[in-house]
A and B are shown apart, each in its own frame.
Chain A
Amino acid sequence: MSLSSPTAEAPSSASATDGSPAAAPAPGPPAGLTPMRLAWRRFRRDKAGVAAGSVVLLFFVAGLGAPLFAKLYGKDPYTTYGQNEPGLLNDYGYPIAPNGGISGEYWLGIEPGLGRDVLTQLLYGIRTSLLISLAVVAIVTVLGVVVGVTAGYLGGRTDYLAGRVIDVMLSFPSTLFFIAFTPVVTSLLTSPGEEMSPLLRGSILVMVLSAFGWAGVARLLRGQVLSLRSREFVEAARASGSPPHRIIFHELLPNLWTPILVTASLAVPAYVTTEAALSYLGVGMVEPTPDWGRMLLKGAEVYQTDITYMFVPGISMLIFVVAFNLLGDSIRDALDPKTDR
């Protein structure tokens, strides 16, 4: 690996947080034709990876199964229990019971002010975060791969043009753009007297977040393709007259799975944090859609009186992001045994 090439590009360019989470070092060089089964076997031997994978899976199940769980638990994230039942919130709107109102009835307490159930809010919040970040990662990855591979393979003018566009995209102050554009797009798509559906709002967030994220992926892939292109097997395929799509799909892509998968897996937690940051800054999902970023925002406001409310989303998110980052590392190790970490 040539250290001077700028492929040491972590997916952090997507991050709207000041500290780029998950900015792990670059994925290793393409590993040649490694069967997925081998990688899976290696992954299963990695204890930390399996543990992290289990936690991640648990979050997926918890998020996607939130409605089912809510039914069993007998609460939902929308009812304002604290306002409806006296004895839960005091005059100032804070939970009366200690530790944020944690009790046998409300396992993680109740929200100050509105008095909603924190546990179901958290679970539904996972769902919101996951759906948005997975959608963004899917779009960003597909777009980045298409642009990166095309530019790298075709070279010449196309490559130059794509390179400059990527440069410009990466020079945009993306954080600023997220907070600036979300309201603009939102106001373009609604009229007064109309309530925006959570689905539409979520889609807007996905759109805005995807607008910049693909550039980092494209740059990484372009670099990989450039170095692959001069390899013997590609030269050979080209000399033997294989059509471009065959070269791309049969020769190049199989060698690109490793960087693609690693980038994608590390991008998920980055976008979860980014989405939370946007909500924290007031341009993400709005009430009543449960959302981690908004829980953190509220937590930051009430922390002097009810610090528990800050801990619940904060710690959950920390566990999730750590697990996902660990998983990303393990996936890389599994796919690319030569890297030494």
Chain B
Amino acid sequence: MTLRPGQRLAVMGAVLAIGATACSSGGGSTDNAAKPGGSAAPPAAKTAAVRIGDASDSTGPAAAIPEAKTGGTALVLERADFNHLDPARVYVSHEQTVLLLLSRQLTTFKQVDGQTVLVGDLAKDTGSSPDGGKTWKFTLKDNLKYEDGSAIKAADIKYGVERSFAKEITGGPTWIQEWLTGKGADFRTVYDGPYNGKSYDAIEAPDEKTVVFKLAEPRADFPFAVAMHTSSPVPREKDTKLDFDKKPFSSGPYKISSRDIDKGMVLSRNEHWNPATDAVRHAYPDQWKFEFGAQNQQINERIIAANGEDKNAMTFRTAVGRESAQKVLETPDLKARTADAFTPFAEYFDINNRRVTDLKTRQAIVAAFPKQQVRQILGGPAYGELSTTLISPTVLGYEKYDSVGVPPTGDPEKAKQILAGATPTIVFAFPQTPVWEQIGVAVNEALTKAGFKVVAKPINDKSYYTEIGRTANEYDLYWSGWGADWPSGIAVLPAKLDGRKIQDDGTNYALYDNKAVSAEMDKIALVSDVVEAGKQWAALDKKIMTEDSPVVPFVYRRQLTLYGPGLGGVKVGFIGSTYPTDVWVK
């Protein structure tokens, strides 16, 4: 049988005809970004938007929001239940977020006119140090109460921190433990928690209102560290050890009234919480209802549809996915219902500095890397702002610079020049998911154009971090994300690039080890003025990238979440999740 030309066209015609009648109107024009309202551009990243507040900033109550009112039930939709609710065990951002409702700390963050301000929470101010940062003293406010009406005492904070040393109490941050003992990750060799009857002398509670921490070395950032939930008060008689994780004893404005793990949770008002003592939390709704188990896309669809009680729905962490970002941002009704801000999360493509030892090769990777193309696959501007620095704009002292000066699409010609005829092989590792496979294609194409030989290596999605976290891994280039625990360079650079912290499952994924840089980190860590320290961190950031190019900075993450039309005061908070503290039900 011979093939007639008409046959092929007939089949294609059928496809085209259906395609033309039933389908998409197209993505629209590129100049959308220039139009107000239809803008895909993210809010501008602010620099150095961090300040340390004083006692007057720390005094409650929080300034009332003009049209806000008290009452109603707000609904929170999340994909999965919270793994931890024990303040000594939470670390993940959405868990920290729900604990804003259930616990209080020595200090906390407040947003004033778009600026992040560190203020006292249980403490009257952000603490004081008589000796340049080695000893830190906090004085508690008056009228602080737990959910049962009993008073919050300084000894409870001491006990709360002590129990975070126990070997059963895992998962939380370890800054305070490490700084108190000066033993790094081996802090348990000095003190291993209160469960065997011992108390820890480095923390003192001389009276009901005063708590004193005696650190091993000066740490100017200590007031930031106690904003994390490790410093939450726990009365010894209420400590249920492992069960505390399921139902913590509340010091915050709400308490858990019912919880069905993996399905839902209801928080009701803690009547004993006194708004006059709290500079940050508003606690407008009477009740918070949580629902777990829906997929991210379903959550967004529910909030878009806003039927029934979904009218009052929000989500702490379910970002608008790439499948609906365009629809949400270009539909005014929906765009008006989004919380949108930069987060402390920054993402990088780490270069394995143990394998790629040649500086020129690393610089060429940075020059050739197709950041914009990769971001387009991940959802475009809604995903984040392309970055050239290690620390992000939410961090104190941030300064913009560009160590290579190439367009965001990468510059294969420039990379070729740097390589000067060499053709190194680069193993690019990524989690095996459809999206990342596509990123693999884009990275492969760009680096190949610049003269690299690229081996694309998908890794099981679940073991991705374990795999790239092995110091003996056999990959050259891989993605990782990092969120600063508080807006200071010390929460980014030493964790990410201190060569002494290279270990299996560590966070120095680039395996970057420069003795001079490590020494500089130690020096800046001891600077007692946080603003001055911020400047020095930024300078170190630039020095590392300019001299060593150990990673490819990729994006500063943006958090874009939807909320129902029945809510007001929904904002992205400092941790990078959507905050419940200002929310009210219309």
**B8: interface (CB < 8 Å):** yes
Which residues of chain B are near A298, meaning CB under 8 Å? 434
Within the complex, the shortest CB–CB distance from B432 to chain A, in Å, comes to 7
CA distance A89 to B432 in the complex (A): 25
Question: Are B473 and A192 in contact, CB atoms less than 8 angstroms apart?
Answer: yes
**A54: interface (CB < 8 Å):** yes
Q: Which one of B370, B429, B433, B441 has the highest number of Cβ atoms from chain A below 10 Å of its Cβ?
A: B441
Question: Are B377 and A93 in contact, CB atoms less than 8 angstroms apart?
Answer: yes
Binds B, one of A80-88, A168-176, A240-248, A255-263: A80-88
Interface string of A45-62 (1 = CB under 8 A from B): 000000001110110011
Q: Which one of B8, B19, B473 has the highest number of Cβ atoms from chain A below 10 Å of its Cβ?
A: B19
**A99: interface (CB < 8 Å):** yes
Question: Are A100 and B23 in contact, CB atoms less than 8 angstroms apart?
Answer: yes
Which residues of chain A are near B373, meaning CB under 8 Å? 80, 83
CA distance A107 to B9 in the complex (A): 12
Question: Are B441 and A114 in contact, CB atoms less than 8 angstroms apart?
Answer: yes
CA distance A286 to B434 in the complex (A): 8
Within the complex, the shortest CB–CB distance from B319 to chain A, in Å, comes to 14
Question: Are B20 and A99 in contact, CB atoms less than 8 angstroms apart?
Answer: yes
- CB-nearest residue of chain B relative to A96? B27
- CB-nearest residue of chain B relative to A97? B26
* Given A83-B370, A98-B26, A114-B441: A302 and B323 interface contact (C-beta under 8 Å): yes
**B359: interface (CB < 8 Å):** no
**A305: interface (CB < 8 Å):** yes
**A67: interface (CB < 8 Å):** no
State the interface size on chain A (CB cutoff 8 A). Answer: 59
* Given A195-B455, A311-B18: A58 and B11 interface contact (C-beta under 8 Å): yes
Which residues of chain B are near A114, meaning CB under 8 Å? 377, 438, 441-442
Q: Determine which of A86, A92, A297 lies in contact with B27 in the assembled complex, contact meaning CB atoms within 8 Å.
A: A92
CA distance A301 to B321 in the complex (A): 10
Question: Are A58 and B455 in contact, CB atoms less than 8 angstroms apart?
Answer: no
Q: Determine which of B3, B327, B376, B409 lies in contact with A113 in the assembled complex, contact meaning CB atoms within 8 Å.
A: B376
Which residues of chain B are near A15, meaning CB under 8 Å? none
* Given A114-B377, A286-B432, A287-B440: A92 and B473 interface contact (C-beta under 8 Å): no
Question: Are B19 and A100 in contact, CB atoms less than 8 angstroms apart?
Answer: yes
* Given A80-B441, A108-B19: A62 and B8 interface contact (C-beta under 8 Å): yes
**A282: interface (CB < 8 Å):** yes
CA distance A100 to B24 in the complex (A): 7
**A79: interface (CB < 8 Å):** yes
Which residues of chain A are near B433, meaning CB under 8 Å? 282
CA distance A41 to B32 in the complex (A): 62
Question: Are A305 and B24 in contact, CB atoms less than 8 angstroms apart?
Answer: yes
**Residues B438-462 near A (CB distance < 8 A):** 438, 440-442, 444-445, 455-460
Within the complex, the shortest CB–CB distance from B582 to chain A, in Å, comes to 29
**Residues B282-334 near A (CB distance < 8 A):** 322-327
Q: Which one of B23, B322, B440 has the highest number of Cβ atoms from chain A below 10 Å of its Cβ?
A: B23
Binds B, one of A17-25, A158-166, A312-320: A312-320
State the interface size on chain B (CB cutoff 8 A). Answer: 61
CA distance A80 to B442 in the complex (A): 7
Question: Are B445 and A80 in contact, CB atoms less than 8 angstroms apart?
Answer: yes
Interface string of B159-197 (1 = CB under 8 A from A): 000000000000000000000000000000000000000
**B64: interface (CB < 8 Å):** no
Q: Which one of B1, B11, B29, B379 has the highest number of Cβ atoms from chain A below 10 Å of its Cβ?
A: B11
Q: Which one of A58, A91, A298 has the highest number of Cβ atoms from chain B below 10 Å of its Cβ?
A: A91
- CB-nearest residue of chain A relative to B455? A195
**A332: interface (CB < 8 Å):** no
Which residues of chain B are near A79, meaning CB under 8 Å? 445
Within the complex, the shortest CB–CB distance from B228 to chain A, in Å, comes to 35
**Residues A84-135 near B (CB distance < 8 A):** 86-87, 89-102, 107-109, 112-114
Interface string of B367-379 (1 = CB under 8 A from A): 0001001001101
Question: Are B33 and A91 in contact, CB atoms less than 8 angstroms apart?
Answer: yes
* Given A55-B11, A113-B438, A195-B457: A90 and B18 interface contact (C-beta under 8 Å): no
CA distance A93 to B438 in the complex (A): 12
Question: Are A57 and B445 in contact, CB atoms less than 8 angstroms apart?
Answer: no
Within the complex, the shortest CB–CB distance from A307 to chain B, in Å, comes to 5
Within the complex, the shortest CB–CB distance from A316 to chain B, in Å, comes to 6
Question: Are A193 and B27 in contact, CB atoms less than 8 angstroms apart?
Answer: no
**A156: interface (CB < 8 Å):** no
- CB-nearest residue of chain B relative to A114? B438
Which residues of chain B are near A210, meaning CB under 8 Å? none
Which residues of chain A are near B411, meaning CB under 8 Å? none
Question: Are A99 and B23 in contact, CB atoms less than 8 angstroms apart?
Answer: yes
- CB-nearest residue of chain B relative to A87? B30
Which residues of chain A are near B475, meaning CB under 8 Å? 192-193
**A6: interface (CB < 8 Å):** no
Within the complex, the shortest CB–CB distance from A84 to chain B, in Å, comes to 9
**B22: interface (CB < 8 Å):** yes
Question: Are A90 and B24 in contact, CB atoms less than 8 angstroms apart?
Answer: no
Question: Are A95 and B27 in contact, CB atoms less than 8 angstroms apart?
Answer: yes
Within the complex, the shortest CB–CB distance from B272 to chain A, in Å, comes to 47
**A306: interface (CB < 8 Å):** yes
**B16: interface (CB < 8 Å):** yes
Question: Are B441 and A91 in contact, CB atoms less than 8 angstroms apart?
Answer: no
* Given A57-B1, A57-B3, A302-B323: A91 and B19 interface contact (C-beta under 8 Å): no
Q: Determine which of A83, A109, A297, A305 lies in contact with B327 in the assembled complex, contact meaning CB atoms within 8 Å.
A: A305
- CB-nearest residue of chain A relative to B467? A192
**A194: interface (CB < 8 Å):** yes
CA distance A112 to B376 in the complex (A): 9
Question: Are A308 and B456 in contact, CB atoms less than 8 angstroms apart?
Answer: no
Q: Determine which of B437, B438, B456, B473 lies in contact with A195 in the assembled complex, contact meaning CB atoms within 8 Å.
A: B456
- CB-nearest residue of chain B relative to A44? B1
CA distance A91 to B33 in the complex (A): 8
Question: Are A193 and B380 in contact, CB atoms less than 8 angstroms apart?
Answer: no
CA distance A113 to B438 in the complex (A): 8
- CB-nearest residue of chain B relative to A192? B474
Q: Determine which of A57, A95, A294, A304 lies in contact with B324 in the assembled complex, contact meaning CB atoms within 8 Å.
A: A304
Within the complex, the shortest CB–CB distance from B30 to chain A, in Å, comes to 6
Question: Are A96 and B377 in contact, CB atoms less than 8 angstroms apart?
Answer: no
- CB-nearest residue of chain A relative to B425? A193
CA distance A298 to B444 in the complex (A): 20
**B382: interface (CB < 8 Å):** yes
Q: Determine which of B7, B434, B455 lies in contact with A282 in the assembled complex, contact meaning CB atoms within 8 Å.
A: B434
* Given A92-B380, A93-B322, A114-B377: A307 and B22 interface contact (C-beta under 8 Å): yes
Within the complex, the shortest CB–CB distance from A291 to chain B, in Å, comes to 11
**B14: interface (CB < 8 Å):** yes
Which residues of chain A are near B29, meaning CB under 8 Å? 90, 96
CA distance A310 to B355 in the complex (A): 42
**A32: interface (CB < 8 Å):** no
- CB-nearest residue of chain B relative to A310? B23
Question: Are B25 and A91 in contact, CB atoms less than 8 angstroms apart?
Answer: no
**B381: interface (CB < 8 Å):** yes
CA distance A53 to B26 in the complex (A): 36
Q: Which one of A96, A97, A99 has the highest number of Cβ atoms from chain B below 10 Å of its Cβ?
A: A99
Question: Are A102 and B22 in contact, CB atoms less than 8 angstroms apart?
Answer: no
CA distance A316 to B11 in the complex (A): 8
Q: Determine which of B15, B16, B322, B437 lies in contact with A92 in the assembled complex, contact meaning CB atoms within 8 Å.
A: B322
**Residues A63-86 near B (CB distance < 8 A):** 78-80, 83, 86
Question: Are B380 and A91 in contact, CB atoms less than 8 angstroms apart?
Answer: yes
CA distance A193 to B16 in the complex (A): 42
**A288: interface (CB < 8 Å):** yes
Which residues of chain B are near A302, meaning CB under 8 Å? 323
Known: A91-B380, A113-B438. 15 other contacts (CB 8 A): A58-B3, A83-B376, A92-B27, A92-B379, A96-B29, A100-B24, A102-B19, A286-B437, A287-B438, A287-B456, A294-B434, A304-B324, A304-B327, A308-B23, A311-B19
Q: Which 3 A-B pairs have the closest CB atoms?
A: A94-B27, A98-B26, A193-B474
**A–B Cβ pairs within 8 angstroms, 5 of them:** A78-B441, A92-B381, A93-B377, A288-B441, A308-B19
